[in-house]
């Protein structure tokens, strides 16, 4: 049994506006184990990106951590990064312990200098000899199937897929333990997506990165890559389970709705076709009472409106927040 790399405990991260609060991440707890890939899914505006900012402790006003804590395992002991300032975490962890592949990774490279120069600047920032990191970059470029010659080029000379691979290579240069990929595949065509996912898996297999948290709204990619799936809705975790189990039998009606809205190869789903969840995610300034999904939920009961379901383990490794599986129903 491996240990957890990151522990997120009752974290609440709100965007504090003048006289309102947007509860983007509300009382969320989970753990990222060592050597695992967690896929985070949910519709747009469910707090997925905020969650990745919380993990990085990339807290810029108006985003504020209202409660809870994030523990990150570094050199064998847990550091409460949520109690440090953004600058402290940035100094100590970013690039070295945790790294990010941003949304639209294609534009993530500094456009007007050569990639090799960028790597040199990175080495300077971290106090590493330039040649050492350049050598490593050449090796890493080969790992992601890019000719190291491309290091002597400008980003705009590379194609979209190549740039994406260059971004992975550079993001993992310092062997971070945690890699946060924030919707990295949304701008790629299907072939490049496949290549990209393969590279991520390979990076993990080789131990270059320990754990990956993969944020996306595309369930199909998560099925291909993740060990566990975390379903978010309106700032809350609805369900967290191993991917194969969740796909086989989703517990939360929201998860079921999400899965039914994508085309998958199983014959029965082909027959049934795809359906959508009616309505849109709620306004997070004044979220619905009780279970936040109840206004859209096909199986809503009276209790759903009044009480908030807790995230409970109902089978080994399977946690769900829904009154359908709780004794409290009735």
Cβ distance to another protein smaller for residue 156 or 316: 156
Does 125 interact with another protein (rule: CB under 8 A)?
A: yes
Closest contact distance (angstroms) between CB of 60 and another protein is: 10
Closest contact distance (angstroms) between CB of 107 and another protein is: 5
Closest contact distance (angstroms) between CB of 135 and another protein is: 18
Residue 238 DSSP code: E
Spell out, one character per residue from 102 to 121, where the chain touches another protein: x when CB under 8 A holds, - when not. xxxx-xxxxxxxx------x
Contact 16, 64 (CB under 8 A): yes
- Spatial distance between the Cα atoms of 81 and 297, rounded to a whole number of angstroms: 36
Does 78 interact with another protein (rule: CB under 8 A)?
A: no
Candidate ranges 129-137, 169-177, 213-221, 254-262; the one touching another protein (CB under 8 A): 169-177
Question: What are all long-range contacts of 137-142, with beta carbons under 8 Å and residues at least 24 apart?
Answer: 137/169, 137/170, 137/173, 140/169, 140/170, 140/172, 140/173, 141/166, 141/169
Per CB under 8 A, contacts with another protein among 139-168 are 154, 156-157, 167
Cβ distance to another protein smaller for residue 100 or 297: 100
Nearest residue to 23 via CA among 313, 212, 303, 284: 284
Closest contact distance (angstroms) between CB of 258 and another protein is: 27
Contact 139, 170 (CB under 8 A): no
Cβ distance to another protein smaller for residue 114 or 194: 114
Spell out, one character per residue from 48 to 77, where the chain touches another protein: x when CB under 8 A holds, - when not. --------x-x-------------------
- Spatial distance between the Cα atoms of 85 and 98, rounded to a whole number of angstroms: 16
Contact 200, 181 (CB under 8 A): yes
Give the one residue of 16, 20, 126, 270 binding another protein; rule: CB under 8 A: 126
Closest contact distance (angstroms) between CB of 173 and another protein is: 8
Contact 292, 236 (CB under 8 A): yes
Does 203 interact with another protein (rule: CB under 8 A)?
A: no
Does 96 interact with another protein (rule: CB under 8 A)?
A: yes
**Hey, what's the torsion of the CAs at 86, 122, 173, 37, to 10 degrees?**
20
**Hey, what's the torsion of the CAs at 219, 326, 279, 288, to 10 degrees?**
-120
260 Cβ contact list (under 8 Å, min separation 6):
269, 272, 274, 275
Q: Which residues bind another protein (CB under 8 A)?
A: 56, 58, 90-91, 93-96, 99-100, 102-105, 107-114, 121-122, 124-126, 154, 156-157, 167, 170-171, 173-174
């Amino acid at each position: 049994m491996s240990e957890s790399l990151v522990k997120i405990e009752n974290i609440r991260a709100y965007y504090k506006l003048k006289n309102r609060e947007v509860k983007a991440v509300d009382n969320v707890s989970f753990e990222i184990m060592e050597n695992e890939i967690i896929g985070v899914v949910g519709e747009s505006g469910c707090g997925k990106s905020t969650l990745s900012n919380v993990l990085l402790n990339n807290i810029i006003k108006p985003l504020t951590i209202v409660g809870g804590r994030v523990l990150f395992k570094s050199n064998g002991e847990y550091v409460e990064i949520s109690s440090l300032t953004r600058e402290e975490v940035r100094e100590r962890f970013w690039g070295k312990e945790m790294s990010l592949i941003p949304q639209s990774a294609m534009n993530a490279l500094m456009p007007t200098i050569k990639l090799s120069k960028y790597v040199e600047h990175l080495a300077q920032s971290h106090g590493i000899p330039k040649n050492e990191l350049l050598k490593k970059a050449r090796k890493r470029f080969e790992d992601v199937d890019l000719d190291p010659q491309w290091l002597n080029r400008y980003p705009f000379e590379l194609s979209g897929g190549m740039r994406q691979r260059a971004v992975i290579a550079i993001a993992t240069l310092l062997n971070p333990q945690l890699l946060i990929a924030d919707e990295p595949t949304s701008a790629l065509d299907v072939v490049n997506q496949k290549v990209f996912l393969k590279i991520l898996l390979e990076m993990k297999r080789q131990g270059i990165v320990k754990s990956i948290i993969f944020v996306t709204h595309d369930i199909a990619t998560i099925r291909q890559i993740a060990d566990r799936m975390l379903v978010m809705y309106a700032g809350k975790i609805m369900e967290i389970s191993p991917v194969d189990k969740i796909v086989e039998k989703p517990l939360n009606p929201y998860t079921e709705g999400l899965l039914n809205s994508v085309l998958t190869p199983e014959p029965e789903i082909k027959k049934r076709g795809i359906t959508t969840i009616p309505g849109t995610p709620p306004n997070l300034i004044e979220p619905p009472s009780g279970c936040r999904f109840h206004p859209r939920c096909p199986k809503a009961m009276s209790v759903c409106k009044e009480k908030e379901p807790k995230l409970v383990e109902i089978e080994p490794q399977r946690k769900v927040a829904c009154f359908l599986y709780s004794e409290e129903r009735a």
